[in-house]
Amino acid sequence: MRQTERLAADAAGLARAADILRHGGLVAFPTETVYGLGADATNAEAVAGIYAAKERPSFNPLISHLDSFESAKIQGMFDETATRLAEAFWPGPLTLVVPIAPSCTISDLARAGLDSVGLRVPAHPLAHALLQGTGRPVAAPSANRSGRVSPTDADHVLGDLDGRIDAVLDGGAAQVGVESTIVSCLGGTPRLLRPGGVPREAIEALIGEKLGTGAEAAGSSPLAPGMLASHYAPRAQVRLNATSIRPGEAALLFGPSAPQGVEAAQAALNLSKNGDLVEAAAHLFSYLRQLDASGAATIAVSPVPETGLGEAINDRLRRAAAER
């Protein structure tokens, strides 16, 4: 348990909140819809802390919040349609899913291992000031434990997360509304992945065409929060609960013990030699990519406990191991 600070919506409170975020902590803050649970999106261990605090059972892509369209363009690539939508509806309750830019600094874990990213510039003045003070993207799902009602004031946040996060920036009651609309702009017809605060009709009027549907867009790929998803799948086969490593396999290890045969592995990486599940979550996607790049036909994965974040890690690994 940690001491959760309740910060006032003043210069001192904003400065403290921004400092916590820059140092890898968790801060709940108001947006124009509900309170979000923020972490530095560029820091995978900080993002893993979101999942731990929310007791979220799987790693879905998180929306990263920025202070301006100019900041968003560092993280994502905006085609003509995405640019028009951003210029028309930002700041506001619209999330755009776009390809990552070469300059993207948002962590693999916040993106759930994808080569696309969900970006939003919120309109709430306190959120905007916090993002400016933090100076980096902030990943922020709703500030509640997974499956519970989204919070609209600081008391709601503390009722769910007191002792589990570092601070809540108290901006009073949030403007109660629906979540942000999510639109995918990944080439071809833009698609509505989640209805929300910006009506479909307003978007279609701006772009001059009908939006595709989320179901068509999603298929088996997770593009945004709130969608059924199977995440980044390596080219290699994935063998779970491996207690020994076969010659030529790549090895994804966990904990201090080296399994039999690891010296013959094509490549080996340890999610956390200390058995720290937060550290393991932070490394998961990048290590899978690195082992996949080794050219091994199979990635053998050491057992990971199902407790805490282990549930989400194992959920992700089972999806990676599924037949395809």
- 133-163 in b/e form (b: 16+ CB < 10 A) is bbebbbbbbbbbbeeeebbbbbebbbebbee
Residue 228 has pLDDT above 60, yes or no: no
Query: What local confidence, expressed as pLDDT, does residue 222 receive?
Result: 54
Quote the percentage of the chain above a pLDDT of 70.
93
Q: Mention every residue, 6+ apart, whose C-beta is less than 8 A from residue 201.
A: none
Report how far residue 57's alpha carbon sits from residue 102's, in angstroms, rounded to the nearest whole number: 30
Query: What local confidence, expressed as pLDDT, does residue 211 receive?
Result: 94
Which of 166, 182, 188, 236 shows the shortest CA–CA distance to 214?
A: 182
Residue 229 has pLDDT above 50, yes or no: no
Summarised one tens digit per residue, pLDDT across range 234-279 is: 889 999 999 999 999 999 999 999 899 999 999 999 999 999 999 9
Summarised one tens digit per residue, pLDDT across range 130-156 is: 999 999 999 999 999 987 878 889 999
DSSP state of 101: P
Residue 14 has pLDDT above 60, yes or no: yes
Q: Mention every residue, 6+ apart, whose C-beta is less than 8 A from residue 142.
A: 34, 35, 36, 37, 150, 151, 179
Q: What is the mean pLDDT of residues 178-196?
A: 89
Report how far residue 27's alpha carbon sits from residue 16's, in angstroms, rounded to the nearest whole number: 10
Summarised one tens digit per residue, pLDDT across range 27-73 is: 999 998 889 999 999 999 999 999 999 988 788 899 999 999 999 99
Q: What is the mean pLDDT of residues 111-122?
A: 94
Summarised one tens digit per residue, pLDDT across range 63-102 is: 999 999 999 999 999 999 999 999 999 999 999 999 999 9
Tokens of 40: 């530095």
Reply yes or no: is the peptide bond before residue 199 cis, omega within 30 of 0: no
pTM of this structure? 0.86
